[in-house]
Amino acid sequence: MSNEPRSDDPLLERLLTKAEELESKSANTVEEALPIAMALSPRRRLPSLPGRYLDEGRLGAGGMGEVRLVRDVALRRSVAMKILSPASSASPLSVQTFVEEARAVGQLEHPHIPPVYELGADEAGVAYFSMKVVKGVTLWERMRKQDWAPGSAERLKDGIEILLKVCDALAFAHSRGVIHRDVKSDNIMIGDYGEVFLMDWGLAKIQRAATKLDVPRPAGSPLDRVVEGVLGTMAYMPPEQAMAGALVDQRSDVFGVGAVLYELLTGQYLYPGHDEELVLEQVRTCAYKHPVAAAPDVFIPRQIVGVVLKALARDPRERYENVLALKHDLQRFLHGGLYLPRVVFAPGEVIIHEGEESDSAYIVMRGECEAYKTVNGERRVLRRMGARSVFGEAAVVSNMPRTASVAAVTEVTLLRLSQQTIEDGLSGDRWENLLVQTLIQRFREVEARLAELEGARSSR
């Protein structure tokens, strides 16, 4: 082993030296090092910081170590502490990966990235870093709640708003030369008060000039499905990340966001198989099902399908150039109101009744319905309506009673458009919004004037 230092950083040099010493010992080293892992057993203190940290239990574990909830006695707050495992502490590559993760996140001061507070090592050479505790659920967990079923307006609208914040976090990281490389729903945390954090930067790639400390990264968590040296989570992985020597850049993270959007729309993983070799081949060829084919019973707006397909293009040059371009199209989709609530009516069920007051119009997505009037007890059909037909439109610009009834002929799926949705969608200063707002206002003024004249005529 050379005595020449690998780094001018005392902490990293000390950790690498300790790792090489452990690596050079017998295979029993890991077993002998188990007492080190117990250094943070319940209510124990770190040996190197005896008066500052108290352990409060484990938050999680992975292939390289575990995350503990600890109490910072000096600052009187709880923090999350990520601790390298004994096995990983014996590997210089794992040690360097761990330190680089802490430093990569430490330089990313952003509202949607959990801040790192401290990087250090205990007396036994076990590395750790502390960071903000995020309380809440992951997006993966949220998507499996019954009230957030695929196809619901709430899931689509709220999910996209979460992804907009993820795009902000990634855009900031990319501006600092950091690529996440493991964007997935399980790494997106939703706080108890609506906060959104992009977590787990353990596979982050720092784009900087090569130095003598730059070495290939070791395999990460076993949950990341490492096959043939491929790093990342294959259900969300861009094809270039699964091929040795291929360029991985910010468009690879665009693909990751697209894969999460795919999961949000369909309720399925991009590559849902369990055979790792088969899935890896699907990743390399970008052989995923079209969103509509993957979830044929779920209504997926055509406009958002175009967004997800562009984000998931096999060739990075055909994807969005960066996450801000993807964010722009997601915002356009939301502001266009194309996440309207979906309602289903059975054959024969009446959708609107003649004479009733309502503020909603309907767009037919699937099935057929018919408009009719009842004259002397007889039903007279006015017209039949299929997909892409609109009815009840006068209700969104006036308060006039319905002039006809509409009933489902077959099972029919409709999008409901209310006056409130129209007002929300027209809240911006775009010229289209101002024009439609003016037309609606003129229509209401004419309606009010006609009602006034009608009243005056009736009083004579």
Which of 284, 264, 254, 117 is CA-nearest to residue 185?
A: 264
Residue positions counted in the chain: 460
Instruction: Give the separation between CA 342 and CA 365, rounded to whole angstroms.
Output: 9
Beta-carbon contacts of residue 317 (< 8 Å; ≥ 6 apart) = none
What does the angle CA 283 – CA 284 – CA 286 come to, to the nearest 5 degrees? 60
Is 182 among the residues known to form the active site? yes
The sign one gets for the Cα dihedral 381, 383, 388, 394 is: negative
Say which residue the tokens 């055909």 belong to.
318
Residues near 438 by beta carbon (within 8 Å), at least 6 away in sequence? none
Instruction: Give, in order, the Cα–Cα distances in Å from 204 to each of 6, 101, 243, 295, 424.
Output: 21, 7, 17, 32, 39
Instruction: Please enumerate in sequence order all residues whose Cβ is within 8 A of that of 123, keeping only pairs 6 or more positions apart, or say none.
Output: 47, 48
**Any alpha helices (H) in 338-430, and if so which ranges?**
419-425
Among residues 55, 168, 182, 200, the one annotated as catalytic is 182
How far apart are alpha carbons 88 and 430 in whole angstroms?
56
Phi/psi region, residue 287 (left: phi>0; alpha: psi -120 to 50; beta: rest), is: beta
* Cα separation, 376 vs 451, whole angstroms: 27
What would you measure as the largest C-alpha separation in the chain, in angstroms? 109
Amino acid at the residue 453: L
Using CB atoms within 10 Å of the CB of residue 228, give its burial: 0 to 12 exposed, 13 to 18 middle, 19+ buried. Answer: exposed
CA distance 238 to 260: 12
Write the CA distances from 383 to 149, 370, 374, 379, 390, integer angstroms. Answer: 34, 6, 14, 12, 12
Residue partners of 441: CB distance under 8 A and separation at least 6: none
Q: Which residue type sits at 213?
A: L
Catalytic residue annotation: 182
